[in-house]
Structure 1
């Protein structure tokens, strides 16, 4: 079993990375952590290809970046703010890692999105593909096709196509539903639609989605990769053959919803 470690480049993450490195036998480490430890390092792409399992230390952004470079299982430790995607918080990092090394875990798979811009494959999205108009203040018409048929013309700022995992991220902020991350569905959520009847749509992930626009726009993949999208271009979206794999200590999705996202009223005693 070859472990890898990828860290957010900050002091807190590096300190935990050092402790995790000392627990593991000859782990492959990303370059920035390697500099901190005085060791030889690798690119994130190399760690993603070589390591059988990867410890990711940071926030949701670090997790999403790692998932663009591997389909192998990741064990995620939150040192960011909300850290909704992370399995454990920094305070439980060592105990959690020890449980994993003792075999007290399972691997959960989650779907990814495959995107094609004018036929050219973009990187997979674990959370969402977001389309937004380039010039703020302009009204964008987005043509939504499902299995080759025009489903709707939506006027607004753009559109989000999210995985179930991404339903608790950008899509949630625009009124999309929360979806169990193990389901195989897409969430299509308009951005600031001109007509409020343009509600978010949930559809099976075996559907093929097509999107066209009437003005210059941008496509963002998990908030990382960004591409120009022009009138006359076509963005095609389908379920990827690749999946995101998470090392899980227990099924924590619904308790995490309560802890991370809810505005809790005082309990009645």
Structure 2
């Protein structure tokens, strides 16, 4: 790897010192690196400043330092370029940013030596009524708008009617996002490298409405029957949608590449981060 891009959540504790350590490792390994404005300011003359478009075209690897929100922002920066992302957790939960700052040096040296695996993750795309589109690594949420009133919705798979219901909204998630908002709303845990579309209602006014898992080959659509609503991609991009608007959501045409240490285990992360079982430990 010749050039590494760096983005960081500078609001995290010790962000400056961890960023400095990363820069020193890359310098010792003879790897050129570029950073976004906030990171470059901390590093001063040690780094070139990169424009957002650089991370999709001018780097071989993007290192995202922060929490899961920072990694989701990195996913938006690389888009469909195929640039892999390595997440370094300097935040709280850090489910996606699986490498802790205490293991950063070891993990980074392993990556530079080619000792890693690439996990390709499914991405969702939502087509909006105005002809624009949103993409998401975790989830796309259709829910209450600015009025904060419940929304009446009709759901379809392809052209087939599925259900009508009122509620706060619904979460359409990828397997990667199944351990995020969808899980908190009662959705299932799905292994992150699977391909599927997970539908999880949010506070529906119906006792029988439960989450379901769809084939990744279908298109899921939701139409707003009454009330104002919003659509949110990965908690970062928000659009308002109106009554009678219909949003179609399907598997995107590209996948996101996440770099993982060879020893990384999804089940271990479940135990340590979400306290899933683990009583033997």
Runs of 4 or more, structure 1, over 6 Å off, are none
Distance change in 2, residues 1:226/1:58 (3 Å)? same
**Structure 1 residue 46: Cα displacement:** 2.3
Structure 1 residue 253 and structure 2 residue 266: aligned?
yes
> Gapped runs of 5+ residues in structure 2?
none
Show the counterpart of 1:239: 251
Matches within 5 A, 1:1-269: 1=1, 2-10=3-11, 12-24=14-26, 25-39=31-45, 40-70=48-78, 71-118=82-129, 120-134=131-145, 138-213=149-224, 214-250=226-262, 251-262=264-275, 267=280
Counterpart CA distance in 2 for 1:263 and 1:160 is 22
SS for the counterpart of 1:68 is: helix
**Mapped contact 2:145–2:228 kept (Cα < 8 A):** yes
For residues 57-83 of structure 1, the C-alpha deviation after alignment (integer angstroms, 9 at most, x for no partner) is 100000001101213111111011100
**Mapped contact 1:129–1:219 kept (Cα < 8 A):** yes
TM-score relative to the length of structure 1:
0.94
For residues 119-149 of structure 1, the C-alpha deviation after alignment (integer angstroms, 9 at most, x for no partner) is 5232310000001112566332111110111
**Mapped contact 2:158–2:218 kept (Cα < 8 A):** yes
Number of residue pairs aligned between Structure 1 and Structure 2 = 268
Counterpart CA distance in 2 for 1:16 and 1:249 is 19
For residues 239-262 of structure 1, the C-alpha deviation after alignment (integer angstroms, 9 at most, x for no partner) is 001211111113411110011002
**Mapped contact 2:147–2:228 kept (Cα < 8 A):** no
Counterpart CA distance in 2 for 1:246 and 1:137 is 36
**Mapped contact 1:68–1:123 kept (Cα < 8 A):** no
**Structure 1 residue 264: Cα displacement:** 5.5
Greater Cα offset, 89-98 or 166-175: 89-98
**Mapped contact 1:75–1:248 kept (Cα < 8 A):** yes
Counterpart CA distance in 2 for 1:206 and 1:221 is 20
SS for the counterpart of 2:258 is: strand
> Gapped runs of 5+ residues in structure 1?
none
CA RMSD of aligned residues (A): 1.7
**Structure 1 residue 263: Cα displacement:** 5.9
For residues 178-232 of structure 1, the C-alpha deviation after alignment (integer angstroms, 9 at most, x for no partner) is 0000111010000001112100010111101111112101111000000001112
